[in-house]
């Protein structure tokens, strides 16, 4: 697809399925909701899944009629909505005040000085909940096609999908916590230089989503062989099965 193509979720799914061999693919979304803190994704709901794959299947079942792999039906589901903070001042009675419930990996992010928000928060510039839900529909369709770490073990060879937090790459490139976004080619190329990567051709302004993607892809290439990033101490089998982990969080 040519530069400037407006990617749909279906386009992304097709690209991932056909990705070149030995590709490390990162998604900037949360592949699951908090589970470990309450022993459930949705305490009090008898359909609350027991692991991430069941969660993906539940989202898919409820949203099967939603077009473009969207997830509005799950957002507005009467039981699920009790756990979300939604637009229009609609906060469910089971949404935890403040940042909301956090996964184990997000608590580790806080310890590293990052500023995660709950995937159950669906409003505001910092929210990732909506993309997490639509991402779950995509991951459900990938099941059995590509391993999704850490829900699947890291294979000895071949492609694998991981969860990303783009600020980790920006900080590794010397950006400060208040300046993780890069909106000029000059800033992006300075960050690429800092991690030992080649420059991107271009000058002037650049969309910060594009710069996030370019820098994080380059960063992934430089750190993919670091064993400690695949074996963080808090990543237990229960966490791997239910919540997943953000690659690069230690």
Enter the pTM of the model. 0.93
Residue 250 CA to residue 248 CA, distance in Å, equals: 6
Strand partners, 246: 163
Residue 235: the pLDDT is 98
Beta-ladder partners of 148: 161
Check if the beta carbon of residue 159 is closer than 8 Å to that of residue 19: yes
Contact 219, 139 (CB under 8 A): no
Tell me the per-residue pLDDT of 60-115, one tens digit each, with 9 for 90 and over: 999 999 999 999 999 999 999 999 999 999 999 999 998 999 999 999 999 998 99
| pLDDT digits 0-9 by tens, 15-72 | 999 999 999 999 999 999 999 999 999 999 999 999 999 999 999 999 999 999 999 9
pLDDT at 66: 98
**φ and ψ at residue 146, rounded to 5 degrees:** -135, 145
Q: Which residue has the tokens 């969309």?
A: 207
| Residue 1's pLDDT band (cuts 50, 70, 90) | very low
Residue 232 has pLDDT above 70, yes or no: yes
List the chain domain ranges: 9-242
Q: How much is the pLDDT for 35?
A: 98
Phi, psi of 125 (to 5 degrees): -65, -25
Q: With the CA atoms of 232, 236, 241 and 244 taken in that order, what torsion angle do they form, in degrees rounded to the nearest 10? A: -30
pLDDT average, residue stretch 223-239: 97
Q: What integer pLDDT is reported at residue 128 of this predicted model?
A: 86
Tell me what the mean pLDDT of segment 168-185 comes to.
93
């Amino acid at each position: 697809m040519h530069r400037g193509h407006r990617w749909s979720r279906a386009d992304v799914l097709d690209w991932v399925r056909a990705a070149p061999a030995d590709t490390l693919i990162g998604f900037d979304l949360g592949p699951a909701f908090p589970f470990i803190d309450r022993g459930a994704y949705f305490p009090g709901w008898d359909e609350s899944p027991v692991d991430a794959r069941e969660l993906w299947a539940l989202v898919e079942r409820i949203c099967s009629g939603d077009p473009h792999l969207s997830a509005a039906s799950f957002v507005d589901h009467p039981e699920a909505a009790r756990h979300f903070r939604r637009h229009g001042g609609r906060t469910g009675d089971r949404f935890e005040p403040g940042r909301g419930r956090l996964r184990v990996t997000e608590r580790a992010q806080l310890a590293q000085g990052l500023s995660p928000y709950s995937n159950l928060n669906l409003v505001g510039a910092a929210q990732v909940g909506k993309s997490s839900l639509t991402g779950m529909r995509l991951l459900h369709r990938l099941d059995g096609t590509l391993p999704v770490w850490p829900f699947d073990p890291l294979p000895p060879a071949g492609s694998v999908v991981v969860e990303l937090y783009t600020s980790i790459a920006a900080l590794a490139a010397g950006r400060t916590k208040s300046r993780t976004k890069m909106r000029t080619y000059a800033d992006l190329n300075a960050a690429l230089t800092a991690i030992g990567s080649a420059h991107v051709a271009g000058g002037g302004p650049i969309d910060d989503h594009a710069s996030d993607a370019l820098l994080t892809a380059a960063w992934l290439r430089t750190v993919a062989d670091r064993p400690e990033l695949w074996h963080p101490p808090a990543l237990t089998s229960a966490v791997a099965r239910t919540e997943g982990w953000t690659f690069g969080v230690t």
